Amino acid sequence: MEKRFLITAVVILSLVSCSDPGIYVDVFSGNYAYSRGEYQDANLLYIKAAEKGTYPDFVVYNLGNVYYSLGEAAPALEKWEVSSRSGNDEVAFASLYNRGVLLFELSRYEEAFASFKSALQLKPSDIDTKIDLEYCLLKMNLRSDSVKNVSEVKENPSEDAKKADAMRVLDFVKRIEKKTLKGESGERGSGEETLNDW
């Protein structure tokens, strides 16, 4: 079944394309190998496609995904950094988002926050990125709290009030986002509910 799918795709590519179909086969084959978990094969095919200059932004992004899947954080971050400067907004967004996720996993919250923030500048309506940005903010706040001395917290209770306010605002934003999503699917909420939250 899978072989038939691959052969059909190659035939379609050769019929549709006026140029050399071999250029695109490496990228397609790399995607296919990656989807099957054959990361080393995908890596080799993407490198071969990169040498031909086929879809350089996509290939570099895909190489980052392969390195991430192989557990190689540094090369993945490097590839996603390169592809994040792509002229294609989808590739740049996906690269920035993936960088943020990996940096978060590495407990590099400030860098992850910056990456998610840059991703949101490209695609401001992406809910997953907003949620991950909030997680980074929470982790950064927790880290700074754990560094503080207990006596500092007791001397300055207004800091605790500010943090409680920040958490309340983040909670409010989450609820508004959920209502917005429900509203887009046809379930409109009333504006009074929003006003009553405050």
pLDDT at 122: 93
**What is the percentage of the chain residues whose pLDDT exceeds 70?**
63
Whether the per-residue pLDDT at 5 is higher than 50: the answer is no
Tokens 């309340």, located at residue:
168
Say which range, 71-75, 138-142, 167-171, 179-183, has the weakest mean pLDDT: 179-183
Question: pLDDT, tens digit, for every residue of 76-97?
Answer: 999 999 999 988 899 999 999 9
pLDDT recorded at residue 198: 43
Length of the chain: 198
- pLDDT tens for each residue of 26-53: 888 999 999 999 999 999 999 988 888 8
Does the pTM exceed 0.75?
A: no
Average pLDDT over residues 45-66: 89
CA distance readout (Å), 154 to 98, 114, 148, 159, 162: 39, 31, 11, 10, 14
Residue 159 structure tokens: 């800091």
Residue 181 has pLDDT above 50, yes or no: yes
Residue percentage of the chain with pLDDT more than 90: 42
